[in-house]
A and B are shown apart, each in its own frame.
Chain A
């Protein structure tokens, strides 16, 4: 059953590139999706990331019981956690919950109200027309959201750390810069592109093949989030093993 579903998913992905419409058509659709996917998610992403950074700072400080460990290690830990895991992966899960469920619900509703059939009858490849812009927009916008999340997380950590006297501003800034590896940023961005593809394609797949009524649209949205989260976690491990495993 799982193998059949995975096979069907790959056939679905193959259909994305068949019988495409003009570049101008996709250009407009991608821009519209960028607004929905990106601009529409900024507030939630920024809010979650800020609190994530703040909580990480407090909890790291709470666990630093040895007086031999300098304070700047707190912000160093916040930086590493944020860049390597919290910004791309945890925000990816938030992204799956917000954008993935919305994509599945949107396509599922279009399916059960015959809007997708209407496109097909017009001779339009509905998968390519509806799904390709969502995937492209997600792959363009999610890395930007991850960058915003990273900045907000570090700022959140800074604000809480300095305002509650956990760490001095200079120690926090020093820790953020200390032994910084630029590759971490590239790694986070590679992860974000992969996660965006997984969330948008899996959610679209679940929504596109919805059958039935309102109940099934709800089920498709839930399955979209669940499957996307599982895919993110698996891809997270594989990418870490592939790109960081040898170092």
Chain B
């Protein structure tokens, strides 16, 4: 479980996040949603420690990450897997080396064990026989899947996904969503997904946190999102024509 308390962040006097609190549960996907520029990615980066919040604290299973010393921070980070918006695969390494990278650095597994684990993770994301391909030879969806394989290869306790569907066609988006949902359940990990894709919201949004202009306006599940009574959330949810047609009915 990850808990955030009163997170605030400003850049050059512009308030990006304003006192956001929330709890992200284990074993089900937690979504942070909102329109572009509302601070979703900044919040995610504050949670993983890539950006230091001006105020507030982040707890990983009751361990205070914000006030942790260097050793505890490294320890917690080694329990984290993260899928970045563009995949963030290392250009100079092939698929196998990209996925194996965390194992090379963080474990003392034998080369055979590492290869077995890499192949298992690649199979888990439905990618086989691509071990020797370079990132430049992969499609957007494949890059995301390799990114997921790399994120889960070291058995993380916490999985973070920044816009996993951006730039993908609807079918691939659904595949990625299902994959994230299944992994979260199977591995019993705490997953946080930042997205503005309504398909993801409806598909895997069991715990949703809605941000609007740097503030948390609503928290709930995909079952409640269409009748939240929050005008800003309704504007966001029903901006999609399909959703809007459902609203009219």
| Chain A, range 1-47, C-beta contacts under 8 Å to B | 18-19, 21, 25
Let me know if B74 and A118 touch, CB within 8 A. Answer: no
Q: In the complex, identify which listed stretch (B83-91, B117-125, B194-202, B208-216) lies at the interface while the others stay far away.
A: B83-91
Q: A122-B105, A122-B106, A124-B105 are in contact. Are A117 and B88 (CB under 8 A)?
A: yes
Sampled A-B contacts (23; CB under 8 Å): A18-B70, A19-B70, A19-B74, A110-B90, A114-B84, A114-B86, A114-B88, A115-B89, A115-B90, A117-B45, A117-B84, A118-B88, A120-B49, A120-B50, A121-B77, A122-B77, A122-B101, A122-B102, A123-B73, A123-B75, A123-B77, A123-B78, A123-B106
Q: What residues on B are CB-neighbors of A221 within 8 Å?
A: none
Contact of A109 among B70, B76, B80, B91 (CB under 8 A): B91
Let me know if A121 and B48 touch, CB within 8 A. Answer: yes
The answer to the question of B82 belonging to the interface, with a C-beta cut-off of 8 Å to chain A, is yes
Contact of A115 among B75, B76, B88 (CB under 8 A): B88
> How far, in angstroms, from A114 to B104 measured CA to CA in the complex?
20
> How far, in angstroms, from A18 to B69 measured CA to CA in the complex?
13
Distance to closest chain A CB from B52 (angstroms): 12
Distance to closest chain B CB from A210 (angstroms): 15
Whose C-beta in chain B lies nearest to the C-beta of A125? B74
Q: What residues on A are CB-neighbors of B106 within 8 Å?
A: 122-123
> How far, in angstroms, from A109 to B91 measured CA to CA in the complex?
10
Whose C-beta in chain A lies nearest to the C-beta of B82? A121
Give chain B's interface residue range (CB within 8 Å of chain A).
20 to 34
Q: What residues on A are CB-neighbors of B73 within 8 Å?
A: 123
Per CB-CB distance, the 7 closest pairs between chain A and chain B, nearest first, are A123-B77, A114-B88, A118-B88, A123-B74, A123-B78, A114-B84, A121-B82
| Chain B, range 147-170, C-beta contacts under 8 Å to A | 160
Query: Among A18, A109, A117, which residue has the most Cβ atoms of chain B within 10 A?
Result: A117
Contact of A114 among B76, B77, B85, B102 (CB under 8 A): B85
Give chain A's interface residue range (CB within 8 Å of chain B).
10 to 19
9 other A-B residue contacts (CB within 8 Å) besides A118-B90, A121-B48: A25-B105, A115-B91, A117-B84, A118-B84, A121-B50, A122-B77, A122-B101, A123-B77, A123-B78
Let me know if B78 and A113 touch, CB within 8 A. Answer: no
> How far, in angstroms, from A21 to B73 measured CA to CA in the complex?
15
Distance to closest chain A CB from B58 (angstroms): 14
Q: What residues on A are CB-neighbors of B160 within 8 Å?
A: 121
Q: What residues on A are CB-neighbors of B91 within 8 Å?
A: 109-110, 113, 115
Q: What residues on A are CB-neighbors of B105 within 8 Å?
A: 21, 25, 122, 124
Q: What residues on A are CB-neighbors of B90 within 8 Å?
A: 110, 115, 118
Whose C-beta in chain B lies nearest to the C-beta of A22? B105
> How far, in angstroms, from A241 to B104 measured CA to CA in the complex?
47
> How far, in angstroms, from A110 to B91 measured CA to CA in the complex?
8
